[in-house]
Amino acid sequence: MGQKVVTMETKVAAMLAEVDACRLTVSATCARLGISRTTYYKYRVRFDAEGVSGLIPRSRRPNRSPGATSESVVRLIVAARAGLDAEGWDNGATSIYYRLRRDGHHPPAVRTVHRVLVRAGLVEPQPGKRPRSSFRRFEFPATDDCWQVDAFSYLLADGSEVVVFELKDDRSRCLLEAQSWPDEDTLGAWTCLARARGYQVVCVNAS
């Protein structure tokens, strides 16, 4: 004989009925279910409005994602890729990024552009690539003789995206400077380097 499984929503519905019949108090019901009074009344409202189906756990996924790339930007990325391809140029994420900047747009970071291409099915995610841990890292023989700069995109709490530049000593791996920047560009890299050296970067626009 099969075992009868009692779901959580069935158990809650039964206890709500016990409260309605004055055989259980709200406090006793909360204690048995291990829930707060706030949660109890949330279940109460759902049950009164939808019945047992209202007690089924609901997804906590937000209705919208503030950090998601907008459809208009996605269309720009796809169109730029098609244009580069038609012109015979490289149409990877980096090329698309600089094409959009040239056209007066403000594209997301290169890695975000690549993720958009993957979601659109325009490039392969390359799951077979060697893991980074399998490569032997180059290490300069002397401290403070070679620095390296790297950048990565970072999503802020308000949904906006910035680029973080990091400057490290290649021997000691000491972090010499880190700064946020609007875009992954040359000026951002030079500014990070100059701050580490104590210089001030002056941007001169050629007329």
In tens, the pLDDT along 155-201 reads: 888 888 889 999 888 888 888 888 889 888 888 888 888 888 875 54
pLDDT at 82: 92
177 within some domain: yes
Instruction: Please tell me whether residues 49 and 76 are part of one structural domain.
Output: no
Same-domain pairing of 99 and 143: no
Answer for the pair 170, 150: CB distance below 8 angstroms, yes or no.
Answer: no
For residues 12 and 188, give the distance between their C-alpha atoms in angstroms, rounded to a whole number: 57
Residue-by-residue DSSP string for 9-76 = HHHHHHHHHHHHTTSS-HHHHHHHHT--HHHHHHHHHHHHHHGGGGGS------SS-TTSPPHHHHHH
Given a cut of 70, is residue 60 above it in pLDDT? no
pLDDT of 1 strictly over 60? no
User: Residues 20, 50: one domain?
Assistant: yes
* Contact call for residues 113 and 102 (beta carbons, < 8 A): no
In a domain, 32, yes or no: yes
Are 50 and 77 in a shared domain?
A: no
Give yes or no: residues 193 and 142 share one domain: yes
pLDDT greater than 50 at residue 6 = no
Residue 60 falls within a domain, yes or no? no
SS3 180: strand
Whether 146 and 184 map to the same domain: the answer is yes
Same domain for 145 and 180, yes or no, is yes
pLDDT range class, residue 204, cuts 50, 70, 90:
very low
Q: CA–CA separation, 81 vs 85, rounded Å? A: 6
pLDDT of 100? 93
Q: What is the mean pLDDT of residues 56-83?
A: 78
**The two three-digit tokens of residue 57, written as one number:** 């756990």
Residues 113 and 160 reside in one and the same domain: no
- Domain contains 184: yes
Single-letter amino acid, residue 31: A
**How far apart are the C-alpha atoms of 193 and 153, rounded to whole Å?**
18
Let me know if residue 182 belongs to a domain: yes
Residue 89 sits in which domain range?
71-119
- Whole-number average pLDDT of the chain: 78
Give the predicted TM-score (pTM) of the model. Answer: 0.37
Percent of the chain whose pLDDT exceeds 70: 74
Give tens-digit pLDDT for 16-32. 777 777 777 888 877 87
Structural domains in the chain (count): 3
